[in-house]
Chain A
Amino acid sequence: MTSSVSRPIDAAFVASKKLAPDIVSVWLEARSVAARIQPGQFVQVRVGPDEELFLRRPFSVAQQQRDRIRIVFRTVGRGTATLSLTRRGDNWNLLGPLGKPAPQFNNREIVLVGGGIGIAPLLFLAERVCRNNRVHAILGARNRQELVLHPEFRKIRVKLNLCTEDGSLGKRGLVTDILQALICSLQSAVAPVVFACGPRPMLQRVKELTRGLESYAFWEERMGCGTGICYGCAVKRDDGKGYLRLCQEGPVLRMSDIEI
């Protein structure tokens, strides 16, 4: 089980854009990571050369194009705030790709459910799975401003459903309301596969709604190494038999396997 993790690399910052007041999109030139990364996997980013912000920050990848990867994140603390100020000429020190790729499917009905910043890793997944599956994407956020990346989803072959809690874009309501209706309406002979990424209450509801279906969560937990050696990112198993290591078994986990 020797890890295929390579040494960290310095990825050149290419461009960044503010998508919402506290949501930033960054493109990085990272050939070795871009060549290998699969939907579901993540990278660990060093914030500074000094040791004050000691741990790396784990980020999922929102898009991969040729030698570049795109990371879309919300600024929630000092680390992400520092990273949001990156300029041309700066590098991001990356460790990755880490974690397991999301499971792959062919000729299936795939439903992607993204809430808030949870939309980001689903874009990368959507771009890949739409090649050989029928894909529905249900994306939601608190308001129009925070419903990011939907223009990118419009460029690929997915049936798009948008919603906001205040009704400023798409339907008024929650992604899980749309999911419930969609599951009932799907007439496919083969059951759909659901991937969800978003806040914990949303994932809890998705788990309830998809009982009996194959459903996966893009899960988050406070993380140490990202490489399996520190046992920091524990996720409670649903069968009561202890914990999973998110960075090894995940970050995309079968919903029935974990306590949400």
Chain B
Amino acid sequence: MSQEVRIGKVTFQNPILLASGTFGFGLEFPQVVRRMGGIIGKAITLKPRAGNPPPRIWEVPGGILNSVGLENPGVSEFVHSVLPRMTFGKAHVVVNVAGSTVGEYAEIIRRMDSDRIAGFELNVSCPNVRQGCIAFGQNPQTVARIVRSCRRTTSKLLITKLTANFVDPLLTARAAEQEGSDAVTLINAVSALALDAQGLPALGAGTGGLSGPAIKPLALYCVRRVAEGVKIPVIGCGGITCGLDVQEFMLAGARMVQIGSINLIDPFSGLRILAELRREESSPEKERGAS
């Protein structure tokens, strides 16, 4: 049975994507990437970013707080020395783009005119940087301006990755749809705080983004709310750890999913989840536990 999914002009071999920031650029485990629908690499910014001071990661019940701070080599170095190595057979490469100004998104995309890239995911939702990203994603008008300028710049697949932080994602999703986004991803990590034993912020940057199974119900809620209110496909993301989770997101209205935090526990999770999904889709008896 074919698992192919089409979004915009791009056909993916199956509905599972590796979420941005959770699988590097795919170079460590190409044998896993090749079998996925695609990989969304670490976010790319206009200039190189060193990232945030450690600790960058902190465990909480059922999830992780992270504040990596978009460490990346910047668009020039990425195009020159990373992108040429991102060859993963039938799996597509989607580049996550993060701007610190509204104009930077299109500027970054303009510098990445490569056949290796199937499309772009606009990061208007990262909670771990001082400027841009989540601040843009909380305002539908700003999301509209960013998507509009990027849509004028590229005819490639354009996905907008939205936040559920202090904004109704239906409003930002509609703004993205109106300006020509081919799909929306819901949700990015949620702004969160953990304190250490001394009562001080546990992460080096102070606050972070919560991800993992702890946010799955919130992600499912957002996916359903948005899927019922827009016509473009929704890509579900948030706490997926198994094939049943993927099916739940599909039932909530997602066309595709991204797996993220679980890659940190086992980099081969994508292969397992894909196998579980195939098994479940071919068996008529589905068992869905309360979650």
Contact = CB atoms under 8 A, between A and B. Distances in A.
Interface of A: 1-3, 5, 7-8, 46, 51-56, 79, 95, 221-225, 227-236, 241-243
A221 B54 contact: yes
A108 B198 CA distance: 44
A228 B57 contact: no
A230 B22 contact: yes
B68 A231 contact: yes
A229 B60 CA distance: 20
Interface stretch (B2-10, B24-32, B100-108, B170-178): B24-32
6 closest A-B pairs by beta carbon, nearest first, are A242-B50, A232-B57, A222-B55, A229-B24, A225-B264, A3-B28
Contacts of B212: 51, 54
Interface stretch (B147-155, B161-169, B265-273): B265-273
Contacts of A54: 59-64, 212-213, 261, 265
A51 to B, nearest CB: 5
Contact of B268 (A7, A53, A55, A221): A7
B64 A224 contact: yes
Contact of B56 (A5, A8, A55, A222): A222
Contacts of A228: 24, 28
25 contacts: A2-B30, A8-B266, A53-B61, A54-B59, A54-B61, A54-B63, A54-B261, A222-B54, A222-B55, A222-B57, A222-B58, A224-B64, A225-B264, A225-B265, A227-B28, A229-B22, A230-B263, A231-B21, A231-B42, A231-B51, A232-B264, A233-B54, A233-B57, A234-B51, A236-B53
Interface string B19-47: 00111100111110000000000100000
B71 interface: yes
A227 B261 CA distance: 13
B59 A53 contact: yes
Interface in B238-291: 241, 261, 263-268
A55 B64 contact: yes
Given A54-B62, A95-B266, A225-B265, 10 more contacts: A2-B27, A2-B28, A54-B63, A222-B56, A222-B57, A222-B58, A229-B24, A231-B71, A232-B68, A242-B50
Contacts of B63: 54
A71 B77 CA distance: 41
A221 B42 contact: no
Contacts of A221: 54-55
Q: Is the interface of A mostly helix, strand, loop or mixed?
A: loop
Contacts of A55: 57, 59, 64, 264-265
B267 A232 contact: no
A51 B61 CA distance: 8
B207 interface: no
B188 interface: no
Interface residues of B, number: 38
A146 B114 CA distance: 58
B3 to A, nearest CB: 22
Central interface residue in A46, A54, A222, A236, by most chain B CB within 10 Å: A54
B96 interface: no
Contacts of B51: 231, 234, 242-243
Given A51-B241, A52-B61, A3 B71 contact: no
B66 interface: yes
B66 A224 contact: yes
Contacts of B50: 241-243
Central interface residue in A46, A55, A228, A230, by most chain B CB within 10 Å: A230
Contact of B263 (A222, A225, A233): A225
B28 A229 contact: yes
Contacts of B264: 55-56, 224-225, 229-230, 232
B268 to A, nearest CB: 5
Contacts of A8: 266, 268
Contact of B29 (A46, A224, A229, A233): A229
B267 to A, nearest CB: 5
Nearest to A47: B59
Contact of A227 (B21, B42, B267): B267
Central interface residue in B23, B30, B53, B265, by most chain A CB within 10 Å: B265
B213 A51 contact: yes
A46 B262 CA distance: 12
A231 B28 contact: no
B31 A2 contact: yes
Central interface residue in B53, B59, B60, B212, by most chain A CB within 10 Å: B59
B24 A231 contact: yes
A234 B203 CA distance: 12
A55 B65 CA distance: 11
Central interface residue in B21, B55, B68, B264, by most chain A CB within 10 Å: B264
Central interface residue in B64, B213, B266, by most chain A CB within 10 Å: B266
Nearest to B31: A2
